[in-house]
Chain A
Amino acid sequence: MIDTLLSALAALMTFQHLAYMLLGVSVGLVIGVIPGLGGIAGLSLLVPFLYGMDPISALGMLIGLVAVIPTSDTFASVLMGIPGSSASQATVLDGFPLAKQGQAARALSAAFISSLFGGIVGAVILTGFVLIARPLILMFGSAELFMLALFGLSMVAVLAGRSLPKGLAAAAIGLLIGSIGAAPATGEFRMIFGTEYLYDGIPLVIIGLGLFAIPEISDLLRKNSSIAEGNALGSGWLLGLRDWWANLFLSIRCSGFGCLIGAIPGLGGSVVDWIAYGHAVQTTKDNPHFGKGDIRGVIAPESANNAMQGGALLPTMLFGIPGSGSMAVFLGGMVLIGIEPGPSMVGADLNITYSIIWSLALANIMGAGICMMLAQPISNLTRIPFHYLAPCMIALICFAAFQATRDLSDLVALMGIGLVGILMKRFGWPRPALLIGFVLAPQAETFFYQALQFNGWGFLIRPGVLIIGAMTLLSVYFGLKNRIDDVGAEGEVVVTSHSSRNIQIVFALAAMVFFGMALWDAAGQSTLGGVFPLGVGVVGAVFGAILLVHLWRGHSDHPAFYDYEIVGDHVGNEGNGWFWTGPAWIGGLVVATALVGFYIAMIGFFIAFLRVRAKASWLRTIVITASAAAFILGLAYMLSLNFPSGWLQDAYDLPWPIR
């Protein structure tokens, strides 16, 4: 085994291999920086070049790309509050507040060193684990996977915010949105309301962008400042490294989690960052200020998501089961270079496996190194006046959103979820709770149904189920003890939130209407297809009702009351624009897209925004618009994709890109 390990290492350290890996890393970094473009897009770019390459170099290139995407996607999460990919959603929670406080460089360097470390820990764990992984992975049956989904859901406890009923109702909304589309047991379609788009459910990227990016942008659009308020960027770079060193053990623990959760096929990588984040909150005793810029909230998910990529390689290589979307493309790439995954990867082809694992570590070092060098200069983005950055961010978000199905409906869905996100932020409904519910809904339902089919109710007493069950209870306990929320200040402010009680009640009633719709829809389904939304709908309605009672009867400083428009830190400042400014602009872009297609709409949007909102000169407007248009066009050309079309394209036959 040592022989294999050493010969694999020697094969890696050739110039040719390193050069190809660097190529993969560079592409991965660029792709990762752009929100919404993850491993899938990057691998699709590289796959055409795979022919005729020797397998080790080709693998190095592919691995280089996959490994560093969770490193560079941090830029968007921290600097702009846009989740760079599903692996960096939790990073937004504390990373973006840090950037707003002018500490972007600190957050970034802590994130990159955590990513690097996570990647290496992942590789070290894999080196030993790969040999015994097969039987271990096979121990996770549907019953255990269901319990793992519950464990993930237990993170709702820690992220539920000040009002528990609100948090649980939000999680229930997430679970219901996650159950839209085909029921796993029967294939019948739920809550589609005759809309073809909803047959497949709402894509995760739309939920992530709608809940986190749109509300932040909409907030920023109301002010005329830059993202970083006041403070100079300073020498946060070294501080970030020191922060990481001070939380070394947190980083180790989260890397371990990340690697193991990634290795279990079926759970999916999207929840890893939240579990790591929740873990950080649960175990932090001294002076936590999570949600307002706690560096530990950056270190934990960033350690976990890079390690997760390593873990996700295991089921891909050993069983040919991709653990994530990018792993699916990676698997396709492996097939194209003639490597077929299977048991031989720990037998005759062990050297390939080791070269993959160590390529992963190397790529992480390269990627994090490059990112660290870029952290300081790129952080300066946060000092650009926001009204110049805003159209670029909005265009990027829309570009990211329509990667989901390449359709106008993606933008409409983004707008809808974005409105929900804006209102949730305003009224203190915890958005992470909704997201976790959404991510885990299909897993929880599918695995529960399968476990019942395979084992009957007896699945509840399987040892693995009991162990994970106990972990879940502990997690809930610590979660409730260390509850945090992402919505800002507390203390005397709650008193004033009482004054907008009526509108808060209206929003809670809207949630109740949604539960009612879900229940009504579930009642029309077969037993197997309807039982999950029915159960969740009832739970949601119960907590919604409790919340309503709190809002109706609660004394004026009851924690259920919250209105960012009354207690937010922006209140009382000069120059706060209209609350609906952001949604209006974004909505305008969506409507224009419906009329003339995305590309023309985007150009028009840039010109309108820069002239009307930013009051830029014509020269500046044209320069910014032209560069943005060229950039998006270049991306679309490389990825060979068509923009969403509108009425104009239906009526007339136009050439690409305005087709």
Chain B
Amino acid sequence: MTGLLKTTRRGALGLALGAAAAVSFAVPAAAEVSFEGKTIEWIIPFSAGGGSDTWARFNAPLLGKYLPGNPTVVVVNEPGGGSTKGSNLFAARAKPDGLTILGTSGSTQFPYLLGDPRVRYEYADWKIVMAAPTGGVVYTSPSTGVTKTDEIAKLVGQKLIYASQGATSLDLVPLLGFKMMGLDVQHVFGFKGRGDGRLAFERGETNIDYQTSSAYIKNVQPLVDAGTAVPLFSWGVLDDDGNLVRDPTFPDLPDFGEAYKTMTGNAPTGAEYDAYFAFFTAGFPAQKMVFLPKDTSQEIVDAYQAAVTAMKADPDYQANKEAVLGTYEQVTGKAADALFKKGTVISPELRKQVVDMLAADYGVKLGDD
């Protein structure tokens, strides 16, 4: 991305040509699809006020503004079953007319990847409109003796405590990650959100924690400045080829892979890493995704993707995106497709491996079926 910003004159010409080409291609497609006078329901399988809801309410009016025919996009909350209920409803009922879309989150991806019996939706059926990544930073308390980021190896052999929302929640990523790193972490479950967990860290009840990027900047950076928290690593982001790289929001912090290497001397590999990577992708780079239902025509998908591209240039979008999205860009088209694949596909062996580990170590049962 940064390469594109340093545009040469020739590059600028190329960009302009490309844009012109895109416009001329987009016009016939847009002429066929029109949502004029229509209302588009954006199903959010969570209750109002959560992260996914805020994200959808931020995007909805902008999407409506740039979709052909300027439809009204309304957010419809269908909470329940840890987001499986609304997604099941979408899978069963939505017609391929582009008037119903679904916004999923890591909490929708995880039960699917784990094979939760409540899941009756199939990601592979759906067409992706866009993906919104997120990131996060793991930090520890100086009471562990770690005072600098590169001293992470000192954590090995220590008793660490982490405030978790549950073994099958988004906190499965830190659970798998810490385990791979060989850290001895006691996961205390039952926390209502990462904010709740941060409070436990500030109270001194836990000594390792992570926060998503914007919460980290606003709430943990002051602790770091005051010397009561030490950042360890960011989860990292995926580059265009799907490789783990440093999070551009935190260029000075190592990513998970680097931190792993600092601790063990090797880059992470193997089945355990593959399992971690699948859930990491579903939980961070591909955390929030927007889908059109099964059998939606390519014209409608194109119209949606064009609207996402156009909306990202809107001044309202530019002005408010940082508060809602943090420092990450929502992506569409090929980039979204790549994240979609990586974040929703897991081999049966890896699934079994994770589910068995959760059952053996944490007594997790995925509900009786």
Contacts and interface: CB of A to CB of B under 8 A. Distances in A.
Interface of A: 40-41, 43-44, 47-48, 51-52, 137-142, 182, 184-189, 192, 194, 196, 199-200, 265-266, 319-322, 325-326, 328-332, 335-338, 340-344, 405-407, 446, 449-450, 453-454, 526, 528-529, 640-642
Given A186-B363, A640-B74, A47 B57 contact: yes
Contacts of A407: 80, 85
A446 B323 contact: no
Closest 3 pairs (CB-CB, A-B): A328-B49, A184-B190, A329-B49
Contacts of B41: 640
B318 to A, nearest CB: 12
Given A189-B367, A338-B320, A528-B363, A319 B219 contact: yes
Output the residue of B48, B49, B77, B362 with the most chain A CB within 10 A.
B49
Nearest to B187: A453
Contacts of B189: 184-187, 449
A44 B75 CA distance: 9
Contacts of B200: 141-142, 450, 454
A640 to B, nearest CB: 4
B195 A321 contact: yes
Contacts of B142: none
Interface string B305-331: 000000000001000100110000000
Contact of B166 (A182, A325, A343): A182
A139 B167 CA distance: 27
A230 to B, nearest CB: 44
B297 interface: no
A350 to B, nearest CB: 15
Interface string B35-49: 000000100000111
B193 A340 contact: no
Nearest to A182: B166
B75 A640 contact: yes
Contacts of B79: 405
Contacts of B82: 199-200
Contact of B205 (A141, A325, A326, A344): A141
Contacts of A528: 363
Given A406-B78, A453-B188, 15 more contacts: A44-B75, A138-B199, A140-B203, A186-B362, A187-B166, A196-B85, A199-B82, A199-B118, A321-B195, A329-B53, A342-B222, A446-B190, A450-B188, A450-B200, A453-B186
A526 B203 contact: no
A340 B327 CA distance: 14
A194 B57 contact: no
B85 A405 contact: yes
A322 B190 contact: no
Interface of B: 41, 47-50, 53-54, 57-58, 61, 74-82, 85, 118, 161, 166-168, 186, 188-190, 192-193, 195-196, 198-200, 202-203, 205-206, 214-215, 218-219, 222, 316, 320, 323-324, 362-365, 367-368
A331 B324 contact: no
Contact of A320 (B75, B195, B362): B195
Nearest to B50: A328
B203 A141 contact: yes
B179 to A, nearest CB: 17
Nearest to A409: B80
Contact of A336 (B74, B85, B323): B323
B365 A189 contact: yes
A175 B192 CA distance: 19
Contacts of A342: 218-219, 222
25 contacts: A40-B49, A43-B48, A139-B203, A140-B203, A141-B200, A141-B205, A142-B200, A184-B190, A194-B368, A199-B82, A199-B367, A319-B198, A322-B49, A325-B47, A332-B49, A336-B57, A336-B323, A344-B222, A407-B85, A446-B190, A450-B188, A453-B188, A454-B188, A454-B200, A642-B76
A41 B77 CA distance: 11
A592 to B, nearest CB: 22
Nearest to A315: B199
Contact of B196 (A40, A321, A336, A340): A321
Contacts of A140: 203
A91 B49 CA distance: 27
B203 A138 contact: yes
Output the residue of A140, A446, A453 with the most chain B CB within 10 A.
A453
A269 to B, nearest CB: 14
A188 B365 CA distance: 6
A265 B48 contact: no
Contacts of B48: 40-41, 43-44, 328-329, 332
A306 B186 CA distance: 40
A221 B57 CA distance: 43
A166 to B, nearest CB: 31
Contact of A196 (B81, B316, B364): B81
A187 B196 contact: no
A138 B200 CA distance: 8
A444 to B, nearest CB: 12
A332 B50 contact: yes
Contacts of A449: 188-190
Nearest to B86: A406
Contacts of A325: 47, 49
A140 B204 CA distance: 11
Given A141-B203, A405-B85, A640-B75, A51 B61 contact: yes
Contacts of A337: 323
B215 to A, nearest CB: 7
B202 A321 contact: no
A364 to B, nearest CB: 22
Contacts of B74: 640
A265 B205 contact: no
A454 B161 contact: yes
Contacts of B367: 189, 192, 199
Given A332-B54, A336-B57, A40 B47 contact: yes
Given A320-B195, A454-B188, A187 B214 contact: no
A187 B168 CA distance: 8
Contacts of B166: 182, 187
A187 B167 contact: yes
Nearest to A405: B80
A87 B219 CA distance: 30
B324 A335 contact: yes
B324 A336 contact: yes
Nearest to B193: A321
Contact of B202 (A48, A138, A640): A138
Contacts of B323: 335-338, 340
Nearest to A342: B218
B222 A319 contact: no
Contacts of B167: 186-187
Contacts of B78: 406
Given A325-B49, A642-B76, A320 B218 contact: yes
Contacts of B190: 184-185, 446, 449-450
Contacts of A188: 363-365
A142 B367 CA distance: 28
B320 to A, nearest CB: 6
A230 B151 CA distance: 79
Contacts of A326: 49
Nearest to B43: A642
A62 to B, nearest CB: 12
